[in-house]
């Protein structure tokens, strides 16, 4: 018997064993981020279905009384819902009533993306693992108390074990760890400019917190891929990290890990080469961390084309046979589909020709590869005909701006002094919410942004002063003029009225929200930077400037391509929901997702974050839209809107559905935070009226 055949036999046996050991009631729960280890956001529940979804009503709400927004996907195990608040408190709620069971607060103030928690159990030992700041805590699932035997006093410090001084690192979890047997496997969020921490993938023992294995995504000497980087890059560069989450094939013992771009994001002069294993889908042996296979989607990435979400473990029909596959959505607006065991693409790949860079020191990869099928679910190129017609004034202004922008399609390198159009934008295409897959039909459901952004490079500044430190470390997000790109990158104009000196220095040192910390700044540099931010005074510092390798040019900031009134400069749809047949590669349907209520226009689509959930009841549930504060249910076969409900804030997290005491619930996190308006932290659960529950039609 061949090794591949033996592996298939073992996988089949493991699948049968897992099915026998896995309690049937677990299918009525939502036990992990993305619904389960396969990360397909699917539920076999069908009490709520096409015929009765219009009768959904609010069953309970839970208000955390905190602001800041929610990007969470709650989990539900044994009748208890576990999740986070905007300030990253861990809460356990009665899943039937929303009543609070317990809450855990480490005392470390949290903010920004923290999308969920992890559940692990062995016998009577039941734990919740949750991240706060750079720490991962182990909590007793029944009481919320810290499990002191885990790590040091119940927590591990993610800055340790990176091969660099821990005090100089900035690592946090954006997406919760995945579980394989007794292991917690995780990545982390690191900085996107230099200096930055490396993006190691690590596995810890769930009981003790001991580090079991590490996979270095920036290879050291003697490791595969080391020759695709400068010789010493592993000692100083960063990124190539898994911030998006993972999926686990429990039967085969493989964990699938999407990685992001290397630092710095937009200029690669200091990291010549293809930069393996950045921008990869990695298949790793979950027991050892050994690589099984990999696919690199973007070689030498200078566009921040991270894989933005966990892959989905799917089974598709190809050539009359069933194939276990892994589907990975992308910011580029494409779905990549691979054989789960070998990594062989299930659709042909097409070569995209190299476009040379005009920037000194930049060496572009020879070519990039994109799947020939399925067709992209987001636009790849626009012309003047695709610009807004919302008003004559808006169109004239947008047309004038468009004619000044370089617009040559995908994988065009940024240049110095002239904006280049990026479509889909920095946030996709697909985003971190991930896709939903329906095993009944083979359809993959993915929501997407249809937003154009622009970007450019500028020469790095020489010397050291408050303003120069700002341009080096902060301007890529907050722009040279401090105005940012709200709400994703907030404006710093008038920061002195909102932050005291000490508070501002604390945030810069430790990080907050999407912003990484800057622990390497000296006290003198911090004082000069804070003075500039608060007053505009540009204090020069003595001594030579310290510029990391490969930072001769800097990114000038994230700029949405908008009309003068702040709406997308391209014609609608501005956001979509697409159903893709993974067997054929055809789009089954596509509909606009979201609206701008103040425009009085229907079905424009809007910017959207968070993902969908698909059910056996024939429904796709999704919030995601940033501006209309609406939760929706679509017919999964046709895309027809069947139901919608108003929420207190927009729902940019992913819903979960589960059954407790014979009643199916759908819960959605509603916190806003993406619309420049007020934000909160409310969970809203919907169910059918108790008197009207019935089986599927």
Report helix, strand or coil for 505: helix
- Inform me whether the pLDDT recorded for 460 exceeds 50: yes
* pLDDT classification of 35: cutoffs 50, 70, 90: very high
Which of 164-168, 588-592, 655-659 shows the lowest mean pLDDT across its residues? 164-168
Closest CA to 697 of 32, 53, 72, 140: 53
How far from 280 is each of 221, 241, 477, CA to CA, in Å? 20, 10, 24
Residues 519 and 589 in one domain: no
CA dihedral 431, 293, 173, 376 (to 10 degrees): 0
- The pLDDT tens digits of the residues spanning 591-620 come to 999 999 999 999 999 999 999 999 999 999
Which of 192-196, 376-380, 625-629 shows the lowest mean pLDDT across its residues? 192-196
- The pLDDT tens digits of the residues spanning 673-696 come to 988 889 999 999 999 998 765 555
- Inform me whether the pLDDT recorded for 31 exceeds 80: yes
Residues 507 and 614 in one domain: no
How many alpha carbons lie under 13 Å from residue 308 in its C-beta half-sphere? 28
Residue 5 domain-assigned? yes
- The pLDDT tens digits of the residues spanning 618-645 come to 999 999 999 999 999 999 999 999 999 9
User: For 226-249, what is the mean pLDDT?
Assistant: 96
- Quote the CA–CA distance of 325 and 629 in Å, as a whole number: 35
User: For 411-439, what is the mean pLDDT?
Assistant: 96
- Quote the CA–CA distance of 282 and 294 in Å, as a whole number: 5
* Residue the block writes with tokens 């154009």: 452
Residues 6 and 64 in one domain: yes
User: For 245-274, what is the mean pLDDT?
Assistant: 97
513: CATH: 1.10.760.10
Residues 477 and 536 in one domain: yes
Residues 607 and 682 in one domain: yes
* Residue the block writes with tokens 């010493």: 232
* pLDDT classification of 550: cutoffs 50, 70, 90: low
* pLDDT classification of 524: cutoffs 50, 70, 90: confident
- The pLDDT tens digits of the residues spanning 507-521 come to 887 777 677 778 878
Give the total number of structural domains in the chain.
Answer: 2
Report helix, strand or coil for 231: coil
* pLDDT classification of 390: cutoffs 50, 70, 90: very high
Residues 596 and 687 in one domain: yes
Return the percentage of the chain with pLDDT > 70, whole number.
94
> Which structural domain range is residue 513 located in?
461-546
Closest CA to 645 of 59, 76, 94, 116: 59
Residues 542 and 590 in one domain: no
Taken as a whole, the chain contains a residue count of 697
Residue 232 domain-assigned? no
Domain-terminating residue out of 495, 523, 546? 546
Domain-terminating residue out of 546, 568, 603? 546
Report helix, strand or coil for 599: helix
- Inform me whether the pLDDT recorded for 417 exceeds 70: yes
- Inform me whether the pLDDT recorded for 4 exceeds 70: no
- Quote the CA–CA distance of 60 and 47 in Å, as a whole number: 18
- Quote the CA–CA distance of 512 and 516 in Å, as a whole number: 7
Residue 471 domain-assigned? yes
- Inform me whether the pLDDT recorded for 659 exceeds 70: yes
H/E/C letters for each residue in 624-648?
CECCCCEEEEEECCCCCEEEEEECC
**pLDDT score for 188:** 96
Beta pairing partners, 43: 615
Which of 224-228, 441-445, 528-532 shows the lowest mean pLDDT across its residues? 528-532
43: CATH: 2.40.10.480
- The pLDDT tens digits of the residues spanning 475-501 come to 878 888 888 877 777 888 888 888 888
How far from 519 is each of 298, 344, 472, 523, 578, CA to CA, in Å? 30, 42, 15, 10, 42
What does the DSSP 8-state code read for residue 413?
P
**pLDDT score for 694:** 58
* pLDDT classification of 648: cutoffs 50, 70, 90: very high
Which of 301-315, 417-431, 682-696 shows the lowest mean pLDDT across its residues? 682-696
Strands, sheet with 280-285, edge to edge from the N-terminal-most edge strand: 247-249, 254-258, 280-285, 291-296
- Inform me whether the pLDDT recorded for 220 exceeds 70: yes
Residue 20 domain-assigned? yes
User: For 349-376, what is the mean pLDDT?
Assistant: 94
Residue 443 domain-assigned? no
Domain-terminating residue out of 546, 567, 602? 546
Residue 370 domain-assigned? no
Closest CA to 349 of 368, 365, 325: 368
**pLDDT score for 547:** 60
**pLDDT score for 544:** 59
- Inform me whether the pLDDT recorded for 549 exceeds 80: no
Residue 506 domain-assigned? yes
Residue 234 domain-assigned? no
**pLDDT score for 181:** 98
Q: Rg (Cα) of the chain, in Å, rounded? A: 24
Residues 466 and 530 in one domain: yes
**pLDDT score for 697:** 55
Residues 558/498, Cβ–Cβ less than 8 Å: no
């Amino acid at each position: 018997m061949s090794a591949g055949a033996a592996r298939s036999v073992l996988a089949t046996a493991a699948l049968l064993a897992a099915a026998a050991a896995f309690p049937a009631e677990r299918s009525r729960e939502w036990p992990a981020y993305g619904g389960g280890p396969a990360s397909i956001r699917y539920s076999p529940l069908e009490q709520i279905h096409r015929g009765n979804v219009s009768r959904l009503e609010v069953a309970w709400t839970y208000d955390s009384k905190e602001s800041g927004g929610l990007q969470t996907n709650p989990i539900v195990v044994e009748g208890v819902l576990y999740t986070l608040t905007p300030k990253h408190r861990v809460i356990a709620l009665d899943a039937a009533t929303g009543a609070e069971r317990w809450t855990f607060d480490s005392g470390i103030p949290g903010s920004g993306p923290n999308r969920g928690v992890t559940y692990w159990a062995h016998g009577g030992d039941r734990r919740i693992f949750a991240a706060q700041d750079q720490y991962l805590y182990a909590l007793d699932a029944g009481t919320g108390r810290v499990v002191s035997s885990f790590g040091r006093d119940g927590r591990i410090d993610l800055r340790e074990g990176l091969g660099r001084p821990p005090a100089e690192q900035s690592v946090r979890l954006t997406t919760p760890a995945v579980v394989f047997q007794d292991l917690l496997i995780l990545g982390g969020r690191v900085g996107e400019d230099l200096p930055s921490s490396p993006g190691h993938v690590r596995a810890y023992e769930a009981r003790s917190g001991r580090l079991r294995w590490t996979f270095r995504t920036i290879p050291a000497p003697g490791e595969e891929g080391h020759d695709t980087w400068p010789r010493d890059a592993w000692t100083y560069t960063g990124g190539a990290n898994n911030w998006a989450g993972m999926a686990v094939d429990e039967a085969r013992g493989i964990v699938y890990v999407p990685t992001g771009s290397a630092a710095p994001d937009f200029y690669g002069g200091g990291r010549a080469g293809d930069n393996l294993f950045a921008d990869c889908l990695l298949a790793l042996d979950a027991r050892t961390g050994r690589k099984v296979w990999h696919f690199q989607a973007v070689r030498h990435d200078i566009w921040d084309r991270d894989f933005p979400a966990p892959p989905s473990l799917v089974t598709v029909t190809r050539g009359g046979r069933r194939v276990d596959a892994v589907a990975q959505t992308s910011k580029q607006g494409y779905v990549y589909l691979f054989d789960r065991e070998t990594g062989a693409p299930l659709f042909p790949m097409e070569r995209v020709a190299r476009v040379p860079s005009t920037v000194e020191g930049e060496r572009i990869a020879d070519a990039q590869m994109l799947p020939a099928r399925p067709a992209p679910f987001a636009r790849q190129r626009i012309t003047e005909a695709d610009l807004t017609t919302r008003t004559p004034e808006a169109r004239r202004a947008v047309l004038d701006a468009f004619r000044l922008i370089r617009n040559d399609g995908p994988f065009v390198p940024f240049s110095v002094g002239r904006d280049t159009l990026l479509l889909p934008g920095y946030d996709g295409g697909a985003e971190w919410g991930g896709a939903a897959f329906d095993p009944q039909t083979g359809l993959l459901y993915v929501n997407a942004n249809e937003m154009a952004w622009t970007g450019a490079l500028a020469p790095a500044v020489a010397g050291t002063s408050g303003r120069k430190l700002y341009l080096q470390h902060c301007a890529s997000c907050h722009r040279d003029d401090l105005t940012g790109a709200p709400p994703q990158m907030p404006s710093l104009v008038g920061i002195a009225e909102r932050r005291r000196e000490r508070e501002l220095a604390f945030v810069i040192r430790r990080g907050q929200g999407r912003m990484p910390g800057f622990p390497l700044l000296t006290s003198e540099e911090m004082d000069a930077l804070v003075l500039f931010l608060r007053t505009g005074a540009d204090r020069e510092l003595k001594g030579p400037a310290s510029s990391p390798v490969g930072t001769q040019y800097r990114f000038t900031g994230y700029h949405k391509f908008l009309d003068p009134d702040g709406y997308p400069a391209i014609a609608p749809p501005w956001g979509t929901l697409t159903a893709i047949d993974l067997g054929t590669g055809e789009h089954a349907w596509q509909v606009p997702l979201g609206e701008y209520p103040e425009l009085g226009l229907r079905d424009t689509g809007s910017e959207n974050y968070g993902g969908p959930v698909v059910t056996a009841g024939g429904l796709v549930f999704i919030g995601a839209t940033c501006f209309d504060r609406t939760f929706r249910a679509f017919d999964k076969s046709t895309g027809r809107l069947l139901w919608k409900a108003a929420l207190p804030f927009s729902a940019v997290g992913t819903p979960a559905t589960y059954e407790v005491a014979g009643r199916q619930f759908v819960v959605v996190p509603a916190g806003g935070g993406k619309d420049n308006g007020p934000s909160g932290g409310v969970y809203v659960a919907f169910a059918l009226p108790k008197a009207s529950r019935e089986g599927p039609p």
